[in-house]
């Protein structure tokens, strides 16, 4: 028998090798771009002044800052970036996967600017809460589970750097939001940001932070308000696009409401008054970027 010679490459194996080589090139480009992005973040950290505020250590990518986390976070900028990703996206890669990759990148670069931990609401389902926190803040971050929403608020209030995540429960056990606002914690974001039926990490939650240095003008402002027990101004509020995020009723009703940015505080008070709810003073306690509903999109690629 003649010695067998190696099989000549078939056109299929050629094609496979060519595609893998193209994937390697793309991976190299992506890696190079991430390295370039991290170099830009180093310069941005200096420009933003989020470096170590006066300690002996110099802060840089290897030594996260002890500057307030609020100085590092730019939630509205993050929302703009996410909107552009949604607009540009096409093809078979699920949009929520793109969101996840970018959340990991942004969280990592935030972590280079401020050293913080995230306090989680232990009264919520532990797996759902952890999924939401990991999806939004990445896998490198320290998570601390607190007993309940009040303990999360207290932990964020006791720190200049830490964040909190509280599950949104319409009928709340306590009016935990009373301690928000002013120099206390603020609501910074609402999760999830991209809405899609069946998406992973879909537990509705609010993110708390120390006051951010440039809060900007959020699409949705969040207010605390009280009204008379037994009154249900839900429909009147809904007609103005106002959502009751959570409420707690004892002698009166304490509510946390989400209000479109163009509705004034006087207009909210008037709606409640007209509905016979006799509201107390309204206090703004934060705001967030409006979510993007992928199910509503005209684009079939989602
Ligand atoms: O733009 C900034 O101010 C940044 O710090 C950069 C960056 C990012 O990685 O793109 C990180 C954190 C902010 O929340 C927003 C964006």
Residues 105 and 210 in one domain: yes
> Count of domains in the chain?
2
* Pocket of ligand 1 from Cβ distances under 6 Å: 44, 48, 72-74, 77-78, 106, 109-110, 113
65 has a pLDDT exceeding 50: no
Identify the weakest region by mean pLDDT among 3-17, 170-184, 257-271.
Answer: 3-17
Q: Are residues 111 and 182 in the same domain?
A: yes
Confidence of residue 6 (pLDDT cuts 50, 70, 90): low
Find all residues with CB under 8 Å of 229, minimum gap 6, and list them: 249, 250, 251, 252, 253
> What's the pLDDT tens digit per position in 259-268?
999 999 999 9
Give the model confidence (pLDDT) of 214-240 as tens digits: 668 899 999 999 999 999 999 999 999
pLDDT of res. 50: 66
pLDDT score at 100:
96
- Do 83 and 99 belong together in one domain? yes
Question: With 0-12 CB in 10 A as exposed, 13-18 as middle and 19+ as buried, what is 132?
Answer: buried
Residue 174 is predicted with a pLDDT of: 96
| Domain C-terminal end among 215, 232, 255 | 215
User: Does the pTM exceed 0.90?
Assistant: no
Distance between Cα 142 and ligand 1 center (Å): 19
ipTM of the complex: 0.98
230 and 205 share one domain: no
Is residue 11, in this structure, part of any structural domain at all?
no
State residue 74's pLDDT score: 85
75 and 211 share one domain: yes
Lowest mean pLDDT among 44-48, 100-104, 270-274, 296-300: 296-300
Q: Is residue 28 part of a domain?
A: no
Among 194, 215, 236, give the residue marking a domain's end: 215
**Average pLDDT in the 255-275 region?**
96
**Pair (183, 226) in one structural domain:** no
In a domain, 59, yes or no: no
Q: Is 64 a member of any domain?
A: no
- Do residues 89 and 196 lie in contact, with contact meaning Cβ atoms separated by under 8 Å? no
**Complete DSSP assignment for the chain:** -PPPPPPPPPHHHHHHHHHHHHHHHHHHHHHHHHHHHHHHHHHHHHHHT-S-SS-SSPPBTTB---S-HHHH--HHHHHHHHHHHHHH--SSS-HHHHHHHHHHHHHHHHHTT----EEEETTS-HHHHHHHHHHHH-SSS-EEEESSHHHHHHHHHT-SS-EEEEE--SB-SS-GGGG-STTS-EEEEEE-SEE-TT-SS---EEEEESPPS-----SEEEEEEEEETT--THHHHHHTT-EEEEEEESSEEEEEEEEETTS-HHHHHHHHHHTT------EEEEEEPPPEEGGG-S-TT-
Nearest atom in ligand 1 to the alpha carbon of residue 50 is: 5
Residues 273, 226: one domain? yes
Residue 276 reports pLDDT greater than 60: yes
Q: Would 19 be classed as within a structural domain?
A: no
For residue 109, give the ligand 1 atom closest to its CA: 9
Residues 244 and 267 in one domain: yes
Q: Note whether residue 23 is domain-resident.
A: no
Q: Is 267 inside any structural domain? A: yes
Higher pLDDT, 5 or 141: 141
Q: Report how far ligand 1's centroid is from the alpha carbon of 203 (Å).
A: 24
pLDDT for the residue 69: 59
**In angstroms, what is the span from residue 123 Cα to ligand 1's centroid?**
31
Section 24-34 average pLDDT: 98
170 and 245 inside one domain? no
Domain, as residue range, for 263: 222-286
Q: Ligand 1 pocket test: which of 110, 115, 116 has the largest number of ligand atoms within 8 Å of its C-beta?
A: 110
pLDDT of residue 297: 67
Q: Which of 215, 233, 258 finishes a domain?
A: 215
Verify that 200 and 169 share a domain, yes or no. Answer: yes
Please say if the pLDDT value at position 59 is more than 50: no
Q: What is the structure's pLDDT at 51? A: 53
Considering the domain architecture, whether residues 74 and 205 belong to the same structural domain is answered as yes
261: domain CATH number is 3.30.70.260
Residue 99 is predicted with a pLDDT of: 97
Is 203 found in the same domain as 180?
Answer: yes
What value does the mean pLDDT of the chain take?
A: 89
Instruction: Give domain status of residue 7, yes or no.
Output: no
């Amino acid at each position: 028998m003649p010695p067998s010679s190696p099989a000549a490459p078939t056109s299929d194996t050629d094609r496979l090798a060519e595609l893998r080589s193209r994937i390697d090139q793309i991976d190299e480009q992506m890696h190079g771009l991430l390295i370039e992005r991290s170099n830009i973040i180093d310069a941005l950290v200096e420009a933003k002044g989020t470096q170590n505020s006066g300690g002996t250590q110099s802060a840089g990518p290897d030594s996260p800052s002890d500057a307030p986390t609020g100085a590092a976070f730019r939630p509205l900028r993050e929302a703009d970036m996410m909107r552009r990703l949604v607009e540009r996206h096409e093809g078979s890669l699920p949009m929520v996967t793109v969101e996840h990759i970018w959340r990991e990148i942004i969280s990592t670069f935030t972590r280079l600017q401020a050293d913080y931990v995230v306090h989680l609401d232990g009264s919520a389902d532990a797996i759902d809460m952890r999924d939401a926190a990991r999806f939004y803040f990445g896998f490198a971050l320290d998570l601390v589970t607190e007993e309940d929403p009040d303990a999360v608020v207290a932990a964020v209030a006791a720190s200049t750097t830490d964040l909190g995540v509280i599950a949104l429960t319409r009928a709340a056990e306590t009016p935990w939001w009373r301690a928000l606002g002013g120099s206390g914690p603020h609501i910074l974001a609402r999760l999830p940001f991209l809405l899609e039926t069946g998406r992973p990490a879909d537990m509705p939650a609010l993110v708390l932070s120390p006051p951010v240095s440039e809060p900007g003008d959020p699409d949705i402002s969040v207010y605390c308000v009280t009204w008379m027990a037994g009154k249900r101004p839900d429909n009147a509020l809904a007609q103005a696009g106002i959502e009751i995020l959570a409420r707690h009723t004892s002698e009166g009703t304490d509510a946390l409401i989400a209000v479109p940015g163009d509705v004034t505080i006087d207009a909210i008070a008037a709606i409640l008054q007209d509905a016979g709810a006799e509201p107390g003073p309204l206090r703004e306690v934060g705001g967030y970027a409006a979510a993007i509903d992928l199910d509503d999109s005209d684009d079939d690629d989602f």
